[in-house]
A and B are shown apart, each in its own frame.
Chain A
């Protein structure tokens, strides 16, 4: 994209004011004295594009007083009645759009931008006209959003990025443009200094650079992220289904063995899952229990229901046996109940111990951190000396007469960690014991219920008419039938769920394979070439511009953050103000140069509003301007706004091809 023309129009009671600035291709130097409106021009470009969100999260119009309230004219202040900015832009296919955004006025809605499909500024005429909205939800996602339309116009396919809250959003234009437009106020404090953080996008600077250089890295990272999310989804489904199986089993008094908490990498684990039902002091597999019950029912059904008188002897015997079993079960149930309580206390005390260990660990880590503070570390008592008499003390607040030495903090941390590991496994163990005992208790309670019913019917049979069919025999058949039905239902339901587990396990293995296939691959071969190219042009430029703070040979472009680094750290903190400016220049212009040799999403446009005077005293723009002049051959545009003395500037520019725009006095002037 390149700018073709900018126009500011202001209506006042004194008549119209304004300015029209034509921009040619290649290097454009815009010279005006300080505080004459040079920065206003740059800011109104930002405003016209609706990307002032890159400056701040505020919805205030970020423009000078002269455009919003009143402007100075012949020593008087003239109130602004109406004002607007118009901007004509051209994309790489030569298509032209003209944008108009109102700044102030009765009809002004600053959230609407009027767009003409043609050069309405430089060649006024009839063009298709349409209103788009900005700075509202959907401005980058809906067809009538300005940024949605602009992204299309620029041939950009905005990537979807992650926010800190886990939601997704497009990479907004406001996040990308800080690599193309450097404004004066804050733009020079670092690379992408005006990066908007208020959109709460994760690693937004990295994402923007990735997008501008069109690196495959993002696609790779995005794919990995998607796979991880998929894995998490599978795992949580697995746990849900596993829990469902356990609940189902519990409801029929069964326990589940060998069902892992996490998705296993081996499918065989699933075949080893056992659903066990208690029968006569032992746990037997569910299918076995069902067929046993069926055999018994068949046996019973093959016999005629006995009359009470025929079986009264056997019935009395059976009643006695039932009562005996009940008594035994009740007493062992009571004992088990006490055991469960004891186990629970055991488990609680282990948990408590773990909490205490964790507290101590945190405190120890704090001690380590405190030792890193200069002032705390230099206190005699932390160095093991008495602050009064300078004799050795132990650093412990316990009584000083101690035999033997103390562990160092590091040793202590290790010691606590190993204890935590032990207690953690104790806790798991205790939990397993507790679960098993609870399960056993539950099955005893179920059996007790059953026995009570049995005893009741047995007693009732014995006192009933001797010629009647035995109620106990009938009851046995009914409850057996019920139990079979219940177990059957549970079994088929568990089978169905186990099948879903099998499916989950299969997709889990697949996802894990894909993740490991991606691992180690951060950048594609072409990414690596682009970054190497950026690195070499960056180093070449900073040498040319005279970077002095750090040895150029030690600079690299980080393959992690894509920013210049020195000794593994972001370049910036250790730079002088003028070297910071050289670095930003070299980096941003480097991106432009890389865009000449590789396919990228770079606009081919760089707008720089020169840093304030005091910071630039030591810098010569000459070298930079010479290099920037080559933009023209590459069909790119570099706009440089400066207040450098006209004479100096002309000397610096010499014979390099450029467009020179000079403003005398205020840029916003009265229009005739």
Chain B
């Protein structure tokens, strides 16, 4: 029935707000877990903020994972995707620092605390959890250097 034909005088409209969806990678649990896994992978269980941003970008999609692995093996091409900085990572780090899972050292690097390290091992043990992310991190065989990170961010491209 077309809208015009309805007798609208008697109809009471009621609008209620529905809960909005949220991508799971924007949920605190997910991101905290992934940050912990990333740091576990880093040398000395510590990383700079920039390194974290790059790995945080790399871990997210199948495309970015492949691109990152390629870049590590010096197979870089011009059409490689651009690294995105996510403000949400900073929020997640703030939470993790407050939770005492991470520690900011005087020179600014961030490292796992004992508590964080323990939870990470727990996450590592459950084989059904974060499968793709773990698989990606295990593909990174070499240590990720600052230089590679800078390259990737094109901060010293000339």
Partner-B contacts on A (CB < 8 A): 355-356, 359-360, 362-364, 366-367, 369-371, 373, 375-376, 379-382, 386-388, 395-398, 403-409, 411-412, 415-416
Contact = CB atoms under 8 A, between A and B. Distances in A.
Interface in B95-140: 95, 98-101, 118-119, 122-123, 126, 128-132
Highest count of chain A CB atoms <10 Å: which of B29, B32, B131? B29
Nearest to B115: A375
B113 to A, nearest CB: 13
B24 A364 contact: yes
B65 to A, nearest CB: 11
Interface stretch (B15-23, B45-53, B69-77): B15-23
Nearest to A402: B20
B124 to A, nearest CB: 11
Contacts of A379: 32, 99, 101
Contacts of B33: 366, 370, 376
Given A381-B99, A387-B99, A388-B98, A366 B24 contact: yes
27 contacts: A355-B62, A359-B62, A360-B25, A363-B30, A369-B128, A369-B129, A370-B29, A370-B33, A375-B119, A375-B122, A376-B29, A376-B32, A381-B32, A381-B95, A381-B98, A381-B99, A395-B27, A396-B26, A396-B28, A398-B26, A398-B88, A405-B19, A407-B20, A408-B19, A409-B24, A411-B21, A415-B21
Contacts of B98: 381, 386-388
Chain B CB within 10 Å — which of A387, A397, A403, A408 has the most?
A: A397
B120 to A, nearest CB: 10
A568 to B, nearest CB: 21
Given A373-B123, A397-B92, A382 B29 contact: yes
B57 to A, nearest CB: 14
Interface size class of B (residues with CB under 8 A): 35 or more
Interface majority SS (helix, strand, loop, mixed), chain A: helix
B22 to A, nearest CB: 5
> Chain B at the A interface: mostly helix, strand, loop or mixed?
helix
B31 interface: yes
A136 B14 CA distance: 78
Contacts of B123: 370, 373, 376
Contact of A398 (B22, B122, B130): B22
B88 A397 contact: yes
B84 interface: no
B142 interface: no
Interface of B: 17-33, 61-62, 88-89, 91-92, 95, 98-101, 118-119, 122-123, 126, 128-132
B112 to A, nearest CB: 14
Contacts of A406: 19-22
A433 B35 CA distance: 44
A379 B91 CA distance: 16
A376 B30 CA distance: 10
B39 to A, nearest CB: 15
A376 B23 CA distance: 19
A382 B28 contact: yes
B28 A404 contact: no
B118 A375 contact: yes
Nearest to B126: A369
Contact of B22 (A359, A382, A388, A396): A396
Nearest to B90: A397
A362 B59 CA distance: 14
Contacts of A376: 29, 32-33, 119, 122-123
Contacts of B128: 369
A396 B22 CA distance: 8
**Among the interface residues B18, B23, B24, B118, which one has the most CB atoms of the partner chain A within 10 A?**
B24
A404 B31 contact: no
Nearest to B63: A355
A412 B24 contact: yes
Contacts of A396: 22, 26-28
A382 B101 CA distance: 13
A258 B30 CA distance: 46
Contacts of A373: 119, 122-123, 126
A133 B81 CA distance: 62
List of 6 A-B pairs having minimum Cβ-Cβ separation, nearest first: A363-B24, A397-B88, A387-B98, A364-B24, A407-B19, A369-B129
Contacts of A416: 21
Contacts of A369: 126, 128-129
B121 to A, nearest CB: 10
A397 B27 contact: yes
B10 to A, nearest CB: 29
A403 to B, nearest CB: 8
B8 to A, nearest CB: 27
Contacts of B126: 369, 373
A415 B22 CA distance: 10
A362 B91 contact: no
A463 to B, nearest CB: 54
Given A397-B31, A411-B19, A387 B24 contact: no
A370 B91 CA distance: 19
Given A369-B126, A370-B123, A375-B118, A362 B23 contact: no
B91 to A, nearest CB: 5
A244 B68 CA distance: 42
Given A373-B123, A387-B95, A397-B91, A367 B29 contact: yes
B24 A404 contact: no
